Amino acid sequence: MAHRPHSVVVVLSSAFASLLPLVSGCSGDDGGSGASATTTGDSVTSTGSGEVTGMTAATETETETGGTTTGAGEPAVVYYRDVKPILDSACVGCHRAGDIAPFALENYAEASMWGEILVPEIEARTMPPWGASSECNTYRYDPSLSDEEIATVKEWVELGTPEGDPADEPSPVDDEEPPIDYDVELASTLYEPTIYPDEYRCFLIDWPLVEERYITGFNIEPGERSIVHHVIAYVIPPAEIDTYVALDDADPKPGYECYGGPGGEAVPRAQWLGAWAPGIPGGPLPEGTGIHVEPGSKVAIQIHYHPVEGAEPDLSVVKLRTEAMVERPAYLLPFANPLWMLGIVNMTIPAGAEEVRHTFEVDIPSTIDFLYPNADFGLDEPVKVSMAGLHMHNLGTRGTLKVHRAGGEEQCLVDVPRWDFNWQGIYRLEESVIVDPSETIHLECFFDNSEGESSVAWGDGTEDEMCLGIFYVSAL
């Protein structure tokens, strides 16, 4: 059975950090750049200018366990007919032998063993992991279980996890993407992580093609799946290579440590290409679009390792589909206040503060002009937004990314009401959003430092924080 994909690039993690910030044009509604701050009790608010501101049968009877049975005596919910299709679609992509999840759910024996543990997780919607709220927008590859599916699994457990007849299993739904012919393969370096419980490692690889190309498809093949939590790949343009090579040379082990992203200068030019996490299939970028790669570039592969005893060293491979031309060039744009990143304005999260809000807002043309001075599109015409995501570290609690329309209306791109650093991603919109040059993108992040003994600000380390948005834009 085909697994329900989570998101084209979802569920990532810390690496968005490197995707840099934006903007020239960091102005509020009045175009000013002054800073102010308001603090009330445990709440701090910041603006972009730097302000801290069952299935049931037709005839049913109650059982001794409180569940139901059909008139023929078979339980109303059984594994093969009702539960297995749900688990195969939404869970088995990660919960299978040798993969990153702590136990498998591939067969009846496994599912019945772990059934009582499943119910509270799926009722709390912490599993399957999916951060984006459906009240904000609708997304492709959403693995979230419906209320009916949750009720089905819950009733099955309450009935004592009845097995049913294997012959009653429904035929699998063929929802796989068509196969992709990848023409570039980039391997990381054989590596055995040693930092527990998590290690972030970057590997620099030469871009092998000598002509201009556009990346239109992306996939990862992890070498040792039991320890690879996620992988993110970035393009390092030729002008920026020396900075990253210096980081690599300074670390005696293969690659170099890179918690927030591939590192580099305060405002790096590393461009995110794509990401992989367990249960997420590789796939094409939005149809007709592609990300340009210059000859002479390097690719940085960031791997989040979660070491386990007895695992083999990892050798993961990035697979890319490239084309000489695309209908619509695209950028994966990072979005944050550059004054935070440069330390000119502190993105402060005070010690003991229970709720801290930081925001930033800018138009897309300013963003593109700042990151791509020789941009082919997007400086004075509308663009199409196809994907959107957020990035914070461990103090983050929730965040949103919205379009502020010229007439004063708002359109939500992504809202993550319950931030989890270990399960973050970029979300593919079901329907792309057109944004005019005069309209702006608004970023909002909330943090909780109520247990902290010192203030926290923007930074790349594990004890620092970030408030970063990212969106995939293309020409119309």
Determine the pLDDT at residue 1. Answer: 41
What does the longest C-alpha to C-alpha distance in the chain come to? 74
Rg (CA), the chain: 23
Single pTM value for the model = 0.74
From first CA to last CA, the distance across the chain in angstroms is: 36
Determine the pLDDT at residue 347. Answer: 97
In single-letter form, the type of residue at position 352 comes to G
Host H or E run for residue 85: helix 84-90
How far, in Å, CA of 14 to CA of 461, rounded? 10
How far, in Å, CA of 155 to CA of 56, rounded? 10
CATH architecture of 9-52+177-475: Sandwich (2.60)
**Residue 142 — very low, low, confident or very high, per pLDDT cuts 50/70/90?**
confident
How far, in Å, CA of 400 to CA of 12, rounded? 17
Residue-wise pLDDT for 24-72, tens only, equals: 333 333 333 333 333 333 444 444 444 333 333 333 444 433 344 444 5
Of 52-66, 150-164, 174-188, 362-376, the least confident: 52-66
Is-contact 359 44, C-beta < 8 A? no
The pLDDT of residue 436 is above 70: yes
Mention every residue, 6+ apart, whose C-beta is less than 8 A from residue 360: 26, 47, 48, 335, 336, 337, 340, 442, 443, 467
Taking CA atoms, 387 is separated from 17, 93, 305, 318, in Å, by 17, 22, 26, 21
SS3 content of the chain, % helix, strand, coil (to 5): 15, 30, 50
Determine the pLDDT at residue 323. Answer: 97
Quick one: 32 exposed, middle or buried, by C-beta within 10 A (0-12, 13-18, 19+)?
Answer: exposed
Determine the pLDDT at residue 99. Answer: 76
The domain limits of the chain are 9-52+177-475, 60-168
311 phi, psi to nearest 5 deg: -75, 150
How far, in Å, CA of 171 to CA of 155, rounded? 22
Task: Report the residue count for the chain.
Answer: 476
Q: What is the 3-state secondary structure (H, E, C) of 395-409?
A: CEEEEEEEEECCCCC
